[in-house]
Structure 1
Amino acid sequence: MSKSLLSFQLEVLFWSDTHSYMKKMNRSHMDFFNGHCFFHMFLLLLLTITSIMPVVINPKEIESCRHTTIILIGATGDLARKYLWQGFFELFIKEQARLTTFTFIGCARSDQDSGEIKLQKILLDVVSCDDISNISPGNCQILKKDFIKLTHYHMLKGEEMYASLNDKIEVFQRKAAKQAEGVGIGFISDRIFYLSIPPFAYLDTSRNIHKFCRPSTPYSGLRLVLEKPFGKDYASAKFMSDELAKHFREEEIYRVDHYLAKPIAMQVLPVRTNNVHLEMVLNRNHVEKVEVVLTETSDVKDRLEYYDEYGVIRDILQNHLTELLLLVTMDLPKNATNKEEIEQNKIRVLQKFQALSPGDILLGQYQNYGSEIQEGLQKSGSTHLTPTFAAVLLRINSKRWQGVPFVLMSGKKMDERHSYIRIVFKDRSFCLPYHTCKNRSELIFSLSHGPAKIPSILHTLNLPIYLQEGMFHEFSESDIANKNLTQYRAFSLIQNTNAYASVISSVFHRDRTGFIGTDHLLQSWNYWGQGLSVLGDNLPKLYPGGKGSFRNLSFQYDFKHIDFNDQTFSKSNQRVDLILSDEDINMVSHNMAQIPDTFLGNTLVSASTDSLIQRLVEDLANSALDAIRKRGIFHIAFSGGAGPLVLFSKLATVPYLFPWKQIHIWMVDERCVSSNHTEYNFHNLDERLLRFIDIPMSNIHPMPTYLFTDICNPDDLGSKLYENHMQKLISNQRLDFIVLGVGMDGHTASLFRGQNSLKERTRLVVLTPGREGDSIKQRMTLTFPAINKAREIAVFVLGSHKHEVLKVISNDETNADKWPITGVNPDQGTMTWYIDHDALFGKSLS
């Protein structure tokens, strides 16, 4: 008989005898052994003794026993009842065969006796093996009973109860450590605090955990798990993050977005990694659009107070849908297992999200929402504009995605429940030979529900996708987006894991891949906070709720626009409150009829503020394209001050209009302050525009106000350096376009009345004193010779406070020494005044 066969037979004999012996043991012995490191150690040593070859094992070389205490704060709440206790049970089943032991402690505010009864009932009702494979009903009952025996209740109300909680944790840890010591193996312990409580309680709870429950022994770890929301805007998210950082290291904090743990969501990156041909067409050249959707049929009655404060954008779009979009749009990491690289790649995409404007967001509210709020929160007589539906047109300004529209959509009380990522490719952009290609290629990650009924991946027949063998099952009956399955191949996972079971397992194994880091969170809120700030008091469109909601909320979009199909509803003009008196209306009507075509002998464009900004942007784009067609390059200079800020913000939302690689940006003037000063013109340009556009650094030309010795030191010759720079790069020193403003004292650029700089006739750039009485004593500015050489000059004037200066200079137009703006007189170019109605008529009309 061979040694290998003999070894096999002896092992079979050993396991058979051991099994028989264990069955004969009474239940009390089994209770002692079950789930303890000692039991696993016992089996391991017996197996060693009975092997055919004598092996000497040093117990200290064996893997240490690990005891984990999981403390669920909010143990009797809705989330705990629906998902968390089942997730802990599945973790217990999965890990209990290894050198791992557990204690589970549920904490809530109920007193000890009633809390224990409530928790026991929850465990008996909700813990099951229905979704766990390869466990018989009999074994399930045994495991469930063991799990419940390891679960304890602790009332948690004040600080002293955190101290007693810590005492309880340490009793269980000492017991486990003693058992490990008895068999001579190492011991490590972990504490996982899972906070299933309202977010307003996070900081006090986390402080008490740190103060009273942080382990003091070596080889002990701690993790803090938080559920969304993680703030309601950038400021609150930053405050919460800073407070947590006082007590917890970044690697100890696990912010949960359970959508990232949904089985199909977890397949997005593997599908991209395993399909090189797919990754090659995931870009602007081949993708027509991407939609990320989460619709629900339920209302918000069970969480009215939370929802009325947060709304659908904060509740769903800022987190779940944004995170799903990042899975599609991030660059793949060089190493698929490098968690840090994955996180950094996501942050890089977030940094390229274009700022939102009001026109990029559609809002809706189901009709009964207001009455539900008044009834549920006893807030009669108040108006609640909280949106329960939102569709947002999102743009990513990167080389990969420039020009592709992304739509994030979510709503309550919709026709159906469904969540999915849909990637639509351009017609015939990806097609196998001999296929008819009558339809666009599509790839759909269906995360839950919907026509496919179960989580699945669907792709059109002309888009071949490789899915890992043994993980997926192809099914034949489905209907997605009202199309017959003959257009698709559809696959479901053979084994689906509950999202919260995956979350809990990842926390246990310290895998932070599917969790939201602090930098990631703040970058996301930086984007969405700005988006929410532009909404103002826009009223959401009412929809019936339930069947017919899709039809009522149908919309259309492309890269530039998104709007409801029902044109009787205007998202930008919804209020009908009477805001003008009869006198105001007569004044407006009279002045509108008398808007002249010129101002100071040059072309005048006048409109409402928003329309005027849009017109200037369009004129800038046309001028840039014309210059690039003729000369291959476009040089534009922006002045400082408050006026251009709104223009910068608008330009940032439409970067696709401009070929930025052929555009050079210059400064008309600069204040002599430090580069991080709020009045530093270039700082404002960078914050409002440059960070959002894909322009080469070499195309950006700030004024050199600080060179060698001090800010704007004349000996440094900074103005001469800038002038030489212009002469070198700009043909004939002739800028293509200059945007100027007008101060209330009539100055433009940094050319102020009575100063020698007004008389400069040769220099293009000079240092000049600041305005009289100004705290900023010196500036750098272009001179009239540089300004008047430009091909096109736009003078941009907003606000009723500018009316008086416009009125004065129109009557004293030749006095440039007193009113410097009148010294702007193009040598050969054109000049256009862009003046909004408020500035032109002298009274705010909005």
Structure 2
Amino acid sequence: MVARVIPVEEFDLVIFGGTGDLARRKILPGLFRRYRSGQMPEGARIIGAARSDMSADEYRQMIAEAVAEFGGEESADKDGLDGFLRNLDYVPIDAKGTGGWDALAAKVRQDVVQAFYFSVAPSLFGDLAERLHTNRIANSESRIVVEKPFGRDLESARALNGTLAEHFDESQIYRIDHYLGKETVQNLMAVRFGNVLFEPLWNNHYLDHIQITVAETVGVGGRGAYYDKSGAMRDMVQNHLMQLLCLIAMEPPSKFGADAVRDEKLKVIRALEPVDSHHIVRGQYDESSDGPSYREDVENPRSFTESFIAMRCHISNWRWAGVPFYLRTGKRMKGRSSEIAVVFKDLGHSIFEGDEARHRNILAIRLQPNEGMDLQVTIKEPGPGGMRLVDVPLDMTFADALGDHEIEEADAYERLIMDVIRGNQTLFMRGDEVEAAWQWTDPLIAGWEARNDVPKHYEAGSAGPEDAMMLMHRDGRRWREIKG
């Protein structure tokens, strides 16, 4: 069974920042894979736009090298790459001036789907939006894609939304979060809302707690200047982890449609309670044999910015009353892992005694690496010797279940870009959703700044600060192991 590929409509996609790192590493190699899969129509065109003064042929050569480096095994398809490159064009452009805009206007068609990817700093969003309209390039059906950060607090997020709203309707704005393009994240909605097995149990009667972990082995690297002004809270919790929490906790939408899904996600954010200071742990990684400390990475010996954060959250509604959500994310940790663990309650009464009575069902949803799900169930250990119970994973590896067939592997970015072309906003954040997330986040940041809170140090390659372990232990629980 080969995965179905449904072609999209003919389109013109303009990538502002088309020579940048994101375009070369993710966007264009991903579009090449969509081209090879047959999802891009022959008439589709991709136009790079950036400050660099180069010809279209020089741009094609740059992208050919990028695809060779980041495109995976499929980049060896020379005929496919040649066909893809023929769809590429380039325009040198001045985002704040007049240079290049007439040339871009002459290239972008008005009778196909128009999409404009703002792969640039947010400070340029307003300039690009204004010039797209003053030069009559964009129209009422055009779509724009904007990357995070969507502001750094509520005030700046409102200003950014206001700037975009001056030229584009909310239905035209696609705020991209690549976590929502992952196969397992989308399967989360299918598993939860498509199976009677789970939805009746998805509440405080049956669930003990939920853990969301996003652990990285890398440090801040070359992002030190940006990261030291944001930290783990702004960089990860306010967007990525918040989105995962919403998908886990939201009520069933009336239908699988953009506004219906986003309405329910917004309700979750608005129902989040403020987090007490003793339910938040912030940390910074120390120097190790594998690399420098956080403060050395960001070249700020007095930095109080967190590279790790863990917290206990609660949602004030009927479904989740009394069920804690534990969020954890950090850099330079012992393993690379993104996982949602749904931990079920103990049996009301166990017929077994001693250690045999202490077993729990856990639904583990792995976002990376090795995307998939498994359900931990309790069985009798095979063999003689009495009733010995063991926990084993009930395998839900989708490729194995479907057999040894060709399963289409698509990067999160390419999935989401194809959704933009289709006009499907389901997996993109709405403006009020972004603002609500900042409204919850801002007081937490203001609180630890007012307390002059100092992050706890943790050993690089560990599971984070010891205080994060205690956050769970005080509640009689423990974090899921991060495997190295």
Using structure 2 for the length normalisation, give the TM-score: 0.84
1:138-186 deviations in Å (ceiling 9; x for gaps): xx3222101111111221224323522433424xx38xxxxxxxxxxxx
Q: What is the aligned partner in structure 2 of residue 85 from structure 1?
A: 28
Any conservation in 2 of the 1:318–1:525 contact (CA below 8 Å)?
yes
1:498-556 deviations in Å (ceiling 9; x for gaps): 1111111111111100000011111111111122121122000111212x354756413
Q: What is the aligned partner in structure 2 of residue 353 from structure 1?
A: 272
- Aligned partner of 1:503 among 404, 416, 425: 416
Q: What is the aligned partner in structure 2 of residue 259 from structure 1?
A: 179
Instruction: Map 1:125-274 onto structure 2 (within 5 A).
Output: 125-126=66-67, 130=72, 140-157=77-94, 158-170=96-108, 173=109, 188-215=111-138, 221-274=141-194
Q: What is the aligned partner in structure 2 of residue 413 from structure 1?
A: 332
Q: What is the aligned partner in structure 1 of residue 458 from structure 2?
A: 543
Instruction: Map 1:749-788 onto structure 2 (within 5 A).
Output: none
Using structure 1 for the length normalisation, give the TM-score: 0.49
| In 2, Cα distance between equivalents of 1:485 and 1:455 | 24
Report the CA distance between 1:229 and its aligned residue. 0.7
Q: What is the aligned partner in structure 1 of residue 320 from structure 2?
A: 401
Aligned residue for 2:183, secondary structure, equals coil
| In 1, Cα distance between equivalents of 2:440 and 2:114 | 35
Q: What is the aligned partner in structure 2 of residue 343 from structure 1?
A: 262
Residues 1:423 and 2:348 are matched in the alignment: no
Q: Which moved more, 1:509-518 or 1:365-374?
A: 365-374
Aligned residue for 1:423, secondary structure, equals strand
Opposite residue 457 of structure 2, the aligned amino acid is L
Residues 1:371 and 2:309 are matched in the alignment: no
1:190-225 deviations in Å (ceiling 9; x for gaps): 221111112222222222223225346xxx731110
- Aligned partner of 1:487 among 392, 396, 399: 392
Instruction: Map 1:713-724 onto structure 2 (within 5 A).
Output: none
| In 1, Cα distance between equivalents of 2:390 and 2:417 | 35
Residues 1:121 and 2:62 are matched in the alignment: yes
Percentage of identical aligned residues:
27
Any conservation in 1 of the 2:15–2:49 contact (CA below 8 Å)?
yes
Any conservation in 2 of the 1:431–1:462 contact (CA below 8 Å)?
no
| In 2, Cα distance between equivalents of 1:421 and 1:230 | 24
Residues 1:110 and 2:110 are matched in the alignment: no
Opposite residue 154 of structure 1, the aligned amino acid is V
Q: What is the aligned partner in structure 2 of residue 38 from structure 1?
A: none
Q: What is the aligned partner in structure 2 of residue 276 from structure 1?
A: 196
Aligned residue for 1:161, secondary structure, equals coil
Q: What is the aligned partner in structure 1 of residue 290 from structure 2?
A: none
| In 1, Cα distance between equivalents of 2:474 and 2:321 | 12
| In 2, Cα distance between equivalents of 1:329 and 1:264 | 16
Residues 1:459 and 2:339 are matched in the alignment: no
Report the CA distance between 1:339 and its aligned residue. 2.5
Q: What is the aligned partner in structure 2 of residue 298 from structure 1?
A: 218
| In 1, Cα distance between equivalents of 2:333 and 2:43 | 45
Residues 1:321 and 2:245 are matched in the alignment: no
| In 1, Cα distance between equivalents of 2:475 and 2:40 | 57
Opposite residue 190 of structure 2, the aligned amino acid is P
| Cα distance change on mapping 1:250 and 1:111 into 2, 3 Å | same
Any conservation in 1 of the 2:216–2:337 contact (CA below 8 Å)?
yes
| Cα distance change on mapping 1:126 and 1:563 into 2, 3 Å | same
1:658-705 deviations in Å (ceiling 9; x for gaps): xxxxxxxxxxxxxxxxxxxxxxxxxxxxxxxxxxxxxxxxxxxxxxxx
Any conservation in 2 of the 1:554–1:564 contact (CA below 8 Å)?
no
Opposite residue 124 of structure 2, the aligned amino acid is A
Number of residue pairs matched by the alignment: 442
| In 2, Cα distance between equivalents of 1:534 and 1:442 | 34
| Cα distance change on mapping 1:432 and 1:308 into 2, 3 Å | farther
Q: What is the aligned partner in structure 2 of residue 651 from structure 1?
A: none
1:70-98 deviations in Å (ceiling 9; x for gaps): 11111222211221002222333445675
| In 2, Cα distance between equivalents of 1:500 and 1:97 | 15
Q: Bigger relative contact order, structure 1 or 2, given CA contacts below 8 A and separation 6+?
A: 2
| Cα distance change on mapping 1:545 and 1:511 into 2, 3 Å | same
Q: What is the aligned partner in structure 2 of residue 389 from structure 1?
A: 308
Any conservation in 1 of the 2:359–2:391 contact (CA below 8 Å)?
no
Q: What is the aligned partner in structure 2 of residue 825 from structure 1?
A: none
| In 1, Cα distance between equivalents of 2:113 and 2:40 | 18
Any conservation in 1 of the 2:458–2:465 contact (CA below 8 Å)?
no
Opposite residue 227 of structure 1, the aligned amino acid is E
Residues 1:521 and 2:458 are matched in the alignment: no
- Unaligned stretches of 5+ residues in structure 2: 1-7, 287-292, 380-388, 400-406, 480-484
Any conservation in 2 of the 1:189–1:221 contact (CA below 8 Å)?
no
Opposite residue 115 of structure 2, the aligned amino acid is I
Aligned residue for 1:267, secondary structure, equals helix
Aligned residue for 1:397, secondary structure, equals coil
Opposite residue 211 of structure 1, the aligned amino acid is T
Q: What is the aligned partner in structure 1 of residue 289 from structure 2?
A: none
| In 1, Cα distance between equivalents of 2:98 and 2:471 | 57
Any conservation in 2 of the 1:385–1:539 contact (CA below 8 Å)?
yes
Opposite residue 455 of structure 1, the aligned amino acid is E
Any conservation in 2 of the 1:87–1:500 contact (CA below 8 Å)?
yes
| Cα distance change on mapping 1:544 and 1:558 into 2, 3 Å | closer
Any conservation in 1 of the 2:148–2:176 contact (CA below 8 Å)?
yes
| Cα distance change on mapping 1:390 and 1:550 into 2, 3 Å | closer
Opposite residue 267 of structure 2, the aligned amino acid is R
| In 1, Cα distance between equivalents of 2:244 and 2:391 | 27
Aligned residue for 1:277, secondary structure, equals coil
Any conservation in 2 of the 1:166–1:212 contact (CA below 8 Å)?
no
